[in-house]
Amino acid sequence: MTKDTWRNPTGIAAAYFVQLVEWGYAASEVEQIALDAATEKTAESSAPETAEELTSE
């Protein structure tokens, strides 16, 4: 991780922080920003894009 990870978090950064949290690490405020931003990006990229995809689930 770099000192600027929170500004532009990647999926790798999110995976790293998620694993640390699962192991019991308490994420700092800045680390939580990176986690939240990466989670939002992941949710957006996996969201259905069409009405047909919405109804097929």
> How does pLDDT run across 11-28, given as a tens digit for each residue?
888 888 889 999 999 999
What is the average pLDDT across 44-57?
A: 55
Tell me what the pLDDT averaged over the chain comes to: 76
The Cα–Cα gap between 13 and 9 comes to 6
Residues 6+ apart with CB under 8 A from 33: 6, 9
pTM for the model: 0.60
